[in-house]
A and B are shown apart, each in its own frame.
Chain A
Amino acid sequence: MNGLVLGIDVCNEFSHVSYYDKSKSLPESVPFIGNVNILENPKKLEDIFSQSAPVGEDIEEIAGILGYIISAARKHCNCREIDRICITTSQFDITVLDKFKAACIKLGGDMEKIEFISHEECFAYYAFNMHRDLWINGVVLMDYSSDGLSACRMELVNVKGQNVIAQSGYVTHTEEQLMNALRERTDAVDLESVQDLLLNCAKEVMDGKATSSVYLTGIGFDTTKLPEDFLKYICNKHRVFAGQNLYVKGACNCAWETLIRRNDVLVACHNRLPATIDMDIVERGKNKIFRVAQAGTNWYSSSRSVDFIVDECSGFTLHIQPAGGQKPYDEIVDFSDFPYRTGKTSRINVTFDFTGDDRCNITVKDKGFGEFVKSSGKVIYRTIEL
């Protein structure tokens, strides 16, 4: 593990990169030209992914940004080898992520070493890696960016002996007033004009709940002048931090924890699967359970494709176990439409495609059995909601 462990945050207008300093056991920012820790994207993400952009150009643009960022990190750390990269972006949806993935492949990246997580997950990895006093009673994140104002609260709880970072509140505001304040800014955003909205948003997630720390981030909070009432409210019995690099550092912590296989704490926030999915299989003649996806795993990295040999059956059962302690339930995927074959001469491919943290598209394909049995070409589709 002598290679670089990187966290990369590609936002709409700016990007950041940090590396994990193993001697200090914490992430450090990588400076770009001019010794600043922030890189202005050559083009805004919203423009890169706009429908008018030529096909394939978006991947080129993203590859350009990622390539530049990675070479800056390599140069700064004087190391070419990469052990792990965790990439986060403000637009965490399957279309954008697939393009990021394609860009990584274009750059020759080893996808086994690259993962993608959302900003909320980065926050969890950042905040809960700080001193215990800063998170023991829960933490609140407020993010004011071009997507609007969002806030969430997270706390560490124990569910059946398992430590879980649980998200206990999530609100988003996209009122015109908030968006205009951002658009009309000359340098820093005039937060006085949106003070009421900020205050209400903070109250929505914090009222009546103990909180150790409040973190402010996003271009809207890139100012030293916070409205007085809002500041008074968030500073009351809480430590308050403002900064633009908490996501990138959280991504870096995540990359490190994946590398060292730390899995004592389950992160259960937005973009993490709320349930574990298991299925029954037969192994050497005995009934066994095959884990399809683990609760608390990022949905994008949970997609998988597996082949099975069919031994005298026409369907399979998925056991869904919600992480929040709700009652487990079963979903049956039936493929009796496929030709019935004896002698284990049917190979099927089952693809589990997650398109969000609450939805899994299942595709079952009849592959036949090599030259012995031709495939019927039949395919079964199912969607399950978590």
Chain B
Amino acid sequence: MSGLILCRTKEAANPYYISNMDVKIYSLEELCYYIYNNIYLIGMDLVDSKLIDFVRNEVQEEKLAARLEYLVEKKAGLAELVITILKYVDFYTTEEIEQIRGILATLNTQNVYERLKARADRFMVNECYYAAIRNYAQIINGKKDPTLSVVFYSDVCHNMGVAYARLFLFKQAQACFEEAYALSHHEDCRKCAMAAERLAINSQNINHVEFLDEQTEEEYVLSREIETLMDNAMYSDEYRYLDELQKSKENGNVSLYYKDINDILEKWKGQYGKYTG
């Protein structure tokens, strides 16, 4: 049903910061929107004392704050906490809230490690790599669950390796990929481990000699494949753009060069902040 929905609660002057996603929340409507659209990401850590303080002091909804406090004290489930917030605010319709209840019920029936993986995978999609690593690490460092397959653990290690690689932590990435390969013997994991090793060497700027005699034919093919990928990087849009910038500097457009470089650095800094948030 279309129309205008009256905002009955006030907007906060000081936002509530969700560090996992690097998002600032200014109103209960925004909180509902965040929950609804990140249902796989949220966990019990969503409703902490900081959120309750925000609801009580910034949004000034004492009734909701007291209710959440009570539910946390009684160790209520995530579904109950989420539904309490969504029902308090006139933002989603009853039907929409019921849908969420269904998803939450499914999540509640999932194994805790399956939930953690679903959550971490969602962080990966949202490019929040550090948050993803934290969740994957909880699975790996947790007690081994015999009901879960080897493939499940291999996928976790592999994804964790991808997250490390995206953070330029190639050594850690290599270890993860190797662990994934050891578990599942999946060829992709081995390729990724080799690529991570090569990138780690490059990034450490150390002199490295490859002894061809020691390489198996398979390893040789893989290393050539990686080199081709690396060579092709120079044809990417981003590389070409940087190349053109360098040329424009050489042609005397120094101020433009530094302005664009600054913009790029700011963008990368922003991205990295999100990755590590």
Contact status B90-A310, CB under 8 Å: no
CA distance A283 to B7 in the complex (A): 10
**Assuming A307-B11, A313-B3, is B33 touching A345 (CB within 8 A)?**
yes
Residue of B1, B5, B34, B90 most packed against chain A (CB within 10 A): B5
**Are A282 and B4 in touch, CB under 8 angstroms?**
yes
Q: A281: CB under 8 A from chain B? A: yes
Number of interface residues of A (CB under 8 A): 28
Q: Does A347 contact B (CB under 8 A)?
A: yes
The reply to whether the CB of A108 lies closer than 8 angstroms to some CB of chain B is no
Q: Once the chains bind, are B5 and A308 in contact (CB under 8 Å)?
A: yes
| CB within 8 Å of B: which A295-352 residues | 306-313, 316, 343-345, 347-348
Cβ of A281 and Cβ of B24 under 8 Å apart? no
CB distance from A193 to the nearest CB of B (A): 59
Chain A residues with Cβ under 8 A from B91's Cβ?
A: 309, 344
The reply on A287 being an interface residue by CB < 8 A is: yes
Q: Mark A270-299, 1 if CB is under 8 A from B, else 0.
A: 000000000111111111001000000000
B6 at the interface (CB under 8 A from A): yes
Residues from chain A with a CB closer than 8 A to the CB of B1 are 282, 285-287, 311
| Interface contact A309-B30, CB-CB below 8 Å | no
A311 to B37, CA, bound (A): 16
Shortest beta-carbon distance, A363 to chain B, in Å?
Answer: 15
A282 B95 Cβ-Cβ under 8 A: no
Q: Is the interface of A mostly helix, strand, loop or mixed?
A: strand
Q: In the assembly, what is the distance between CA of A313 and CA of B2, in Å? A: 6
**Given A311-B1, A311-B2, A345-B33, A370 and B7 contact (CB-CB distance below 8 Å):** no
Q: Which residues from chain B contact A310 at a C-beta distance below 8 Å? A: 4
Let me know if B162 is at the binding interface, CB within 8 A: no
The answer to whether B4 touches A284 (Cβ under 8 A) is no
Tell me how far the C-beta of A370 lies from the nearest C-beta in chain B, rounded to whole angstroms: 4
Contact B24 A280 (CB under 8 A): no
A285, B4: Cβ atoms closer than 8 Å: no
Nearest A residue (CB) for B31: A370
A281 and B4 within 8 A (CB): yes
Interface: B26 (CB within 8 A): yes
Chain A residues in 8 Å Cβ range of B94: 284-285
Give the chain B neighbours of A14 by CB distance below 8 A: none
CA distance A332 to B1 in the complex (A): 19
Most buried by A among B3, B7, B30, B95: B3
Within 8 A of B (CB), among A359-375: 369-372
Q: Is the CB of A308 within 8 A of B7?
A: yes
Please tell me if B14 contacts chain A, counting CB pairs below 8 Å. no
B23 at the interface (CB under 8 A from A): yes
Bound together, the chains give a CA A192 to CA B26 distance in angstroms of 68
Closest to B24 in A: A371
Question: Are the C-beta atoms of B33 and A311 separated by less than 8 Å?
Answer: no
- Taking a contact as CB atoms under 8 Å apart, the answer to whether B30 and A370 are in contact is yes
How many angstroms from the CA of A370 to the CA of B11 in the assembled complex? 10
In the bound complex, how far is the Cα of B3 from the Cα of A280, in angstroms? 8
Q: Which residues of A contact B2 (CB under 8 A)?
A: 282, 311-313
A284 to B3, CA, bound (A): 11
Q: Which residues of A contact B11 (CB under 8 A)?
A: 307
| Complex partner residue of B33 from A280, A286, A343, CB under 8 angstroms | A343
CA distance A345 to B30 in the complex (A): 9
Shortest Cβ gap from A318 to chain B (Å): 12
B7, A347: Cβ atoms closer than 8 Å:
yes
Query: Nearest-CB distance from B69 to chain A (Å)?
Result: 24
In the bound complex, CA of A122 to CA of B7 (Å) = 35
Residues of chain A within 8 A of B4, CB atoms compared: 279-282, 308-311, 313, 316, 348
Q: Which residue on chain A has the smallest CB distance to residue B26?
A: A370
Check B3 against A369 for contact (C-beta < 8 Å).
Answer: no
User: When chains A and B are docked, how far (Å) is the Cα of A285 from the Cα of B93?
Assistant: 5
A306 touches B7 (CB 8 A): yes
Tell me if A283 and B90 are in contact (CB < 8 A).
yes
Assess whether B3 is in contact with A311, with CB atoms less than 8 Å apart. Answer: yes
User: Are the C-beta atoms of A344 and B5 separated by less than 8 Å?
Assistant: yes
How far in angstroms is the closest Cβ of chain A from B7? 4
* Complex partner residue of A282 from B3, B7, B24, B37, CB under 8 angstroms: B3
What residues of chain A lie closer than 8 Å to B33, measured between beta carbons? 343-345, 369, 372
Minimum CB–CB distance for A375 against chain B, Å: 12
Shortest CB distance B242–A (Å)? 28
New A-B contacts (5) at CB < 8 Å, excluding given A343-B33, A372-B34? A280-B3, A281-B6, A307-B7, A313-B2, A316-B3
Enumerate 14 A-B pairs (CB-CB under 8 Å) in ascending A order. Answer: A281-B4, A283-B90, A284-B93, A285-B1, A287-B3, A308-B5, A309-B91, A311-B1, A312-B2, A344-B5, A348-B4, A369-B30, A371-B15, A372-B23
